A and B are shown apart, each in its own frame.
Chain A
Amino acid sequence: MLIEPVSMDDSERLVAEISQARADGTPLKIRGGNSKAFLGRPVHGTPIDTRSHRGVLSYDPTELVITARAGTPVAELNAVLDAAGQMLPCEPPAFDGMATVGGMVAAGLAGPRRPWSGSVRDFVLGCRVITGEAKHLRFGGEVMKNVAGYDVSRLLAGSFGCLGLITEVSLKVLPKPRALGSLALDLSADEALRELSAWRRAALPISGAAHVDGRLHVRLEGGTGSVASALDRIGGSELDSRFWDDLREHRLAFFDDPRPLWRLSLPNAAPLVRLPGDTLLDWAGAQRWLKSDAPAVTIRQIAHAAGGHATCFTPRVDAEPFTPLPQALLRFHQQLKQQLDPRGLFNPGRLYAGL
């Protein structure tokens, strides 16, 4: 895909629109590429579009840091990194090339490498954000270590735009691995989890592990020696590496099933639990996709009993797509929202009612 890099500073318009909304007391519905509009509760507000505020602002591969405006397509960011032999290790989905850097951070969705590399927020070093007071502020920075003040940039990751409008992000990046290989084995889900556990103890350089339709798919990344010996040890048959792209982008046949899509996030060593529908195990079992018509309460009970939580990825299935919070924790969410966005301008209700 040929991507034409575009750079444009449209922050003045964004500040002006937020300022206006503040004066009028009208809520805003933040959108970038709209690629994750399916996720979360419906928001009623004036749309505010970040896509015209875009472009990579700075990138020095030897510093391992890239800074981009929020409206920059993730695909463009990836292309810039790729040209320098680097990558964003958390592997966020680009969803048909529509996803933007701002949306990537706001939603915090990571791809198959997440358990080994870290999440989107693990790579966030700094950000600029327009607040409920229509102030354009900067937190964190372009350095790897920074403990001055509260960690606002990482707080904003995964906040679904409910605390402010992210305009710019600095991210830690890493070199692409020198060697990689993918393979598939016919195994039951149970056997797959057992093997994965053994391979983890043996420190095999695994960077992807997904089980679907009776097959375990494994990706290995590292130095040439370690990848070669791990491929030898695991065996199985060679797998087209595009599998990982299709998994990350939800393009596998599994995702075509018309039933609602649920995401269960479970502890590392959670055993195989019976789920009421078809499942795909990703993240070596820590992320389990479920296609199911079962009621939300049933699915949430199962996730909770296993030590995790469940999110509905299909819109209008459940009034609360995200797992409801315990009372005390919800209260601190509300108090934080009240402090940082007292007029309720930003994506009201996207995460939870009243937030």
Chain B
Amino acid sequence: MSYHYDECIDGALATHDKSAVVAQLQARIPDLQILYEQEDLRPFECDGLAAYRATPMLVALPDKVEQVAALLKFASAQKIPVVARGAGTGLSGGALPLDKGILLVMARFNRILEVDPEAGIARVQPGVRNLAISQAAAPYGLYYAPDPSSQIACSIGGNVAENAGGVHCLKYGLTVNNILKLEILTIDGERITLGSEALDAPGFDFLALFTGSEGMLGIVTEVTVKLLTKPQSAKVLLASFDDVEKAGAAVAQIIGAGVIPGGLEMMDNLAIRAAEDFIHAGYPVDAEAILLCEVDGVESDVQEDVERVEALLRAAGATDIRLAGDEAERQRFWAGRKNAFPAVGRISPDYYCMDGTIPRRELPRVLKSIEELSNEYGLRVANVFHAGDGNMHPLILFDANAPGETERAEALGAKILELCVAVGGSITGEHGVGREKINQMCAQFNSDELSFFHALKAAFDPDGLLNPGKNVPTLHRCAEFGSMHVHHGALPFPELERF
């Protein structure tokens, strides 16, 4: 099925004369850089989900908040859709342009406005890279905790839009738990402040609502983040297992024993071999699964926890346990995991990364089902898993040049996500719905819940101009493309006619 915006099912969009829009924008906001020639638009056709491409009507590259406000006022008056984009590293097509829309690129807002070590906060513009915040805070012994794998490139505005996670979420939380305040421009170009530098703010928690809202409610123009004191010590254990189920049980044992690791990651054999081949991290290539368990904090507590975890791993049947002897080895252990995606990219022409979450206890059942699906669809799947927080990243290996394989990979991916929902999980833990998982939303939410989302959106963007076609499907889309399996003997969306 096509990922392209379909006005018949995603909603009608107004049509505009491109040259007239360009001329009006240039007249109204003379200092705003606009790209509109076909060859200039090409680099903006996709985000990190490169398989999905569309050419925007035009690209706006503002560097002043006033320009963004004026642009939004104009777009709102003219009913032109606006898709916001940060660094363009998102993996769900959340910044996929619309050919009838403006792509609003916020990347030039790249200044760190303030680091206040006393208050433990940093005030930054939305285009600042995630890692740059921690680098600016480092001289004070502080850092910004959420660390998505793309942190070297991804921007904090995009992190807010997607509620980005990382490998340290279980202990340190997601983006929503690590920001204090947002400056927002509404679709009418009106400025509002959400949250405050205090720990709470009066009124509804719009700060939480906007985090993860995928650019559908407003445009982030400034972010105030919390900074944490860097842990004194961090140690990582690498445990091998001859059985994936045993590795899963070990995770439950560690957490049940009251240890909350800073990071707890699992990889299956295919992922281990790919990573080892690429990084030479010293991974055991014959293991069915490995666990990477990092404990961090004050030196004496870390020592205590390492001993406890080691005993638990042994009792859980680990065939080999290694403690990284020094910082270099610790980095090497992590490098294998952090490069698992490109590593898989080396053994397959293409791969498709999934992002479902499940209750951890369902892991053996889900992995078994993924294996069966993998056989059924004739495509290999490598599993990388944020084991501590139940976020799976099955990587489906395929060849886009082989006829039908892309479609098969997408279909297999959809099945895996529906499986996650069926065991009580979610179709996306940290990558967002974007355009990619728009149909699977129909499996996770019923029509009343989707209608509730639409009502909520209408409170902020009544004309649906901000990022239309993403995050929440229309009821018509669900009627047409949604999972048609029968729940409790009733077809989903019985009130809608089928096309």
Q: A residues near B, CB below 8 A?
A: 60-65, 85, 108, 114-115, 118-119, 121-122, 131, 133, 135, 137-139, 141-152, 154-155, 157-159, 162-163, 174-176, 178, 197, 200-201, 203, 205, 222-226, 229, 265-270, 283, 286-287, 307-309, 311, 322-326, 328-330, 332-333, 335-336, 338-340, 351-352
Check: B458 CB closer than 8 A to any chain A CB: yes
Are A151 and B304 in contact, with the CB atoms below 8 A?
A: no
Query: Interface stretch among B42-50, B253-261, B404-412?
Result: B253-261
CB-CB under 8 A from B194, the residues of chain A are: 329
Instruction: Give Cα A146 to B176, complex, Å.
Output: 12
Q: Which of A152, A203, A268, A340 is in CB contact (< 8 Å) with B197? A: A268
Are A150 and B453 in contact, with the CB atoms below 8 A?
A: yes
Are A332 and B361 in contact, with the CB atoms below 8 A?
A: no
Shortest beta-carbon distance, B266 to chain A, in Å?
15
B286-339 contacts to A (CB < 8 Å): 297-301, 303-305
Shortest beta-carbon distance, A236 to chain B, in Å?
20
Q: Which residue, of B200, B253, B360, B455, has the highest number of chain A Cβ atoms within 10 A?
A: B200
Q: Which of A147, A148, A151, A223 is in CB contact (< 8 Å) with B208? A: A151
The bracket for how many chain B residues form the interface is 35 or more
Instruction: Give Cα A201 to B173, complex, Å.
Output: 21
Check: B491 CB closer than 8 A to any chain A CB: no
Are A144 and B390 in contact, with the CB atoms below 8 A?
A: yes
Are A143 and B255 in contact, with the CB atoms below 8 A?
A: no
Query: Interface stretch among B23-31, B57-65, B112-120, B371-379?
Result: B112-120
Known: A114-B199, A133-B448. A145 touches B359 (CB 8 A): no
Check: B121 CB closer than 8 A to any chain A CB: yes
Known: A63-B360, A147-B428, A201-B141. A222 touches B301 (CB 8 A): yes
Are A269 and B116 in contact, with the CB atoms below 8 A?
A: yes
Check: B12 CB closer than 8 A to any chain A CB: no
Are A151 and B427 in contact, with the CB atoms below 8 A?
A: no
Chain A residue at minimal CB-CB distance from B177:
A122
Are B141 and A139 in contact, with the CB atoms below 8 A?
A: no
Instruction: Give Cα A288 to B423, complex, Å.
Output: 44
CB-CB under 8 A from A330, the residues of chain B are: 203
Q: Which of A266, A323, A332 is in CB contact (< 8 Å) with B206? A: A332
**Cβ contacts A to B, 24 pairs, < 8 Å:** A60-B361, A61-B255, A62-B252, A139-B449, A144-B357, A144-B389, A145-B174, A145-B386, A147-B428, A147-B433, A149-B441, A149-B445, A150-B217, A150-B453, A151-B163, A155-B208, A223-B297, A223-B301, A225-B304, A268-B197, A269-B120, A286-B198, A307-B196, A309-B202
Shortest beta-carbon distance, B223 to chain A, in Å?
16
Shortest beta-carbon distance, A198 to chain B, in Å?
11
B190-217 contacts to A (CB < 8 Å): 190-194, 196-206, 208-209, 211-213, 216-217
CB-CB under 8 A from B367, the residues of chain A are: none
Shortest beta-carbon distance, A92 to chain B, in Å?
14
Known: A268-B120, A283-B199, A336-B459. A223 touches B191 (CB 8 A): no
Known: A201-B141, A328-B191. A141 touches B441 (CB 8 A): no
Are A266 and B198 in contact, with the CB atoms below 8 A?
A: yes
How many inter-chain residue pairs (CB < 8 Å) link A and B? 271
Are A115 and B199 in contact, with the CB atoms below 8 A?
A: yes
CB-CB under 8 A from A147, the residues of chain B are: 162-163, 212, 426, 428-433
Are A269 and B165 in contact, with the CB atoms below 8 A?
A: no
B159-203 contacts to A (CB < 8 Å): 162-163, 165, 169-170, 173-174, 176-177, 186, 190-194, 196-203
Check: B229 CB closer than 8 A to any chain A CB: yes
Shortest beta-carbon distance, B390 to chain A, in Å?
5
Instruction: Give Cα A133 to B358, complex, Å.
Output: 30
Shortest 10 CB-CB distances between A and B: which pairs? A225-B300, A223-B301, A175-B258, A145-B429, A154-B208, A144-B389, A269-B119, A226-B298, A62-B252, A267-B197
Are A144 and B428 in contact, with the CB atoms below 8 A?
A: no
Instruction: Give Cα A145 to B358, complex, Å.
Output: 9
Are A143 and B390 in contact, with the CB atoms below 8 A?
A: yes
CB-CB under 8 A from A311, the residues of chain B are: 202
Chain B residue at minimal CB-CB distance from A139:
B449
Check: B391 CB closer than 8 A to any chain A CB: yes
Known: A135-B448, A307-B196. A143 touches B460 (CB 8 A): no
Instruction: Give Cα A85 to B297, complex, Å.
Output: 21
Q: Which of B191, B203, B426 is in CB contact (< 8 Å) with A143? A: B426
Check: B499 CB closer than 8 A to any chain A CB: no
Chain B residue at minimal CB-CB distance from A324:
B202
Are B208 and A222 in contact, with the CB atoms below 8 A?
A: no
Instruction: Give Cα A194 to B360, complex, Å.
Output: 43
Known: A63-B360, A268-B119. A176 touches B258 (CB 8 A): yes
CB-CB under 8 A from B163, the residues of chain A are: 147, 151
Shortest beta-carbon distance, B439 to chain A, in Å?
12
Chain B residue at minimal CB-CB distance from A335:
B459
Q: Which residue, of A138, A287, A329, has the highest number of chain B Cβ atoms within 10 A?
A: A329
B352-368 contacts to A (CB < 8 Å): 357-361
Are A157 and B255 in contact, with the CB atoms below 8 A?
A: no
CB-CB under 8 A from A133, the residues of chain B are: 448
CB-CB under 8 A from A142, the residues of chain B are: 359, 424
CB-CB under 8 A from B425, the residues of chain A are: 141, 143, 146
Task: Please give 8 more A-B residue pairs, beta carbons under 8 A apart, in addition to A145-B174, A267-B119.
Answer: A63-B361, A121-B205, A152-B453, A163-B204, A201-B141, A225-B299, A225-B300, A265-B200
- Interface residues as binary, B455-471 with A (CB distance below 8 Å gives 1, 0 otherwise): 11111100000000001
Instruction: Give Cα A229 to B448, complex, Å.
Output: 55
Check: B472 CB closer than 8 A to any chain A CB: yes
CB-CB under 8 A from B358, the residues of chain A are: 143
CB-CB under 8 A from B216, the residues of chain A are: 150
Shortest beta-carbon distance, B455 to chain A, in Å?
4
Shortest beta-carbon distance, B35 to chain A, in Å?
30
Q: Which of B190, B298, B305, B429 is in CB contact (< 8 Å) with A146? A: B429
Known: A146-B429, A225-B304. A178 touches B205 (CB 8 A): no
CB-CB under 8 A from B471, the residues of chain A are: 149-150
Instruction: Give Cα A159 to B204, complex, Å.
Output: 5
Check: B444 CB closer than 8 A to any chain A CB: yes
Are A339 and B429 in contact, with the CB atoms below 8 A?
A: no
Chain B residue at minimal CB-CB distance from A309:
B202
Shortest beta-carbon distance, A135 to chain B, in Å?
5
Q: Which residue, of B163, B202, B429, B459, has the highest number of chain A Cβ atoms within 10 A?
A: B202
CB-CB under 8 A from B446, the residues of chain A are: 137
Shortest beta-carbon distance, A308 to chain B, in Å?
4
CB-CB under 8 A from B460, the residues of chain A are: 332, 335-336
Are A145 and B304 in contact, with the CB atoms below 8 A?
A: no
Are B209 and A325 in contact, with the CB atoms below 8 A?
A: no
Chain B residue at minimal CB-CB distance from A124:
B208
Instruction: Give Cα A151 to B217, complex, Å.
Output: 12
Shortest beta-carbon distance, A138 to chain B, in Å?
7
